[in-house]
Chain A
Amino acid sequence: AQTVTQSQPEMSVQEAETVTLSCTYDTSESDYYLFWYKQPPSRQMILVIRQEAYKQQNATENRFSVNFQKAAKSFSLKISDSQLGDAAMYFCVLLYGTASKLTFGTGTRLQVTL
């Protein structure tokens, strides 16, 4: 079975500061992908960043970067220069298999304060 664990139900960061959201996962698949999605109050799921498991290089997207530790099955998200618009629920997601199944973590609610 595939599992995704987010151990931080809530996090808070001051505007312009840096925050790291944790995620660990478990899978028996050799070929998989990892994502961070954010879900603001509008409910729309928005892709933040994507990582292919076969790539050692950590993905980056502007202020967002990941620390992908494959052996440790860890996939943390770092948000730099946090902005008020970053406030949302963040989900760590594992995609595997030819059926493109997703396993979602339980989410981390991020608050951004002034």
Chain B
Amino acid sequence: SAVISQKPSRDICQRGTSLTIQCQVDSQVTMMFWYRQQPGQSLTLIATANQGSEATYESGFVIDKFPISRPNLTFSTLTVSNMSPEDSSIYLCSAGGQGGEKLFFGSGTQLSVL
């Protein structure tokens, strides 16, 4: 099993600024992912964070808006750039899932953009 620490747990930001969310796993994992969960909604995959290479983004998400780093097998960051109120959401990181194994999730970052 893996434990994922995600921070910050919440933040209130001004329009036009950027926020970087960090995700630390207590063991090496191959797969790490970033999800967005809008209020009262399901989770939508933003991107797969690839170690040592550029992230793989899902349709509707672009690197300029959501740059992702994955410098090693235990850590990743997601930046929400040039924020607008529409970016207000919960952002979750997850790890695992390879071979159908369980995915572990961070506790999420609740972002409010004013």
B contact residues, total (Cβ < 8 Å):
23
A contact residues, total (Cβ < 8 Å):
20
Report the minimal beta-carbon distance from A79 to chain B, rounded to whole angstroms. Answer: 19
Q: Does B51 have its Cβ within 8 Å of any Cβ on chain A?
A: no
Taken together as a complex, chains A and B put the C-alpha atoms of A76 and B26 apart, in Å, by: 33
Q: Does A62 have its Cβ within 8 Å of any Cβ on chain B?
A: no
Q: Does B53 have its Cβ within 8 Å of any Cβ on chain A?
A: no
Where chain B touches its partner, the secondary structure class is strand
Taken together as a complex, chains A and B put the C-alpha atoms of A36 and B90 apart, in Å, by: 20
| Among B33, B41, B100, B103, contact of A52 (Cβ-Cβ < 8 Å) | B100
| Among A33, A45, A50, A105, contact of B105 (Cβ-Cβ < 8 Å) | A45
Are A44 and B107 also in contact (CB < 8 A) when A50-B102, A95-B100, A100-B31 are?
yes
5 closest pairs, A vs B, by CB?
A100-B97, A45-B105, A33-B100, A43-B108, A104-B42
